[in-house]
Amino acid sequence: MKDHLLPVTVDVGRNQSRDQGADKAHALVCEAPVSDRCELISRLVGEVYEVAPAVERSRLLTHLLKPLGVLSIVAVANGIFSKVRFNNGWTNLDIRPEDVENVRAIDVVTLVNYVQQVSISAVDGLAQVLAASPVMTGSAVTAVLITILASRSRNRPTFEEDDFDVDLR
């Protein structure tokens, strides 16, 4: 029996398209308090991971583990990702499908919560990883996640190099 991670399901209804369901889920996330949005996105990534085949799971984890250092990888989810990350050495991040057999969706939720604190753009970049996979784009939960991540990425303020210049005169 699978543990469903999302606290809320979106009722698409018989006469509504998958896009309308994605719109409803997007609105649900956007209307959530800021403090809850990251958690909802983490749970959506967990749901996507849960339905993904092993090859896609390894692609997702490869993308999510890239911005993390050694201590982060060891600390997150009781160290489950350190086993995955260090199977092929530190310099070669090539997570194989057999490496992800023991990683559960709840571990991925924990990982995404942490990665969002380190590099929110890494999580938003999952939209490109998922969109590049013909296997994953057919999933409704993937469509919802891609929509939310793309919207969040578009709506995030951009910073110019001058924004961080400090005049010490």
Domain boundaries, the chain: 18-153
Asked if residues 105 and 5 have their Cβ atoms less than 8 Å apart, the reply is yes
Mean pLDDT for the stretch of residues 47-68: 91
Question: What pLDDT is stored for residue 23 in this prediction?
Answer: 62
- pLDDT of residue 15 exceeding 50: no
Q: State pLDDT tens for residues 70-111.
A: 888 888 888 888 877 776 666 667 788 888 888 999 999 999
Q: State pLDDT tens for residues 150-168.
A: 877 776 655 555 554 555 5
Residue 26 banded pLDDT, cuts 50, 70, 90 = low
Question: What pLDDT is stored for residue 54 in this prediction?
Answer: 92
Query: How far apart are the C-alpha atoms of 8 and 32, rounded to whole Å?
Result: 12
Max CA-CA distance within the chain?
A: 66
Query: How far apart are the C-alpha atoms of 62 and 94, rounded to whole Å?
Result: 7
Q: Note the pTM of the prediction, 2 decimals.
A: 0.73
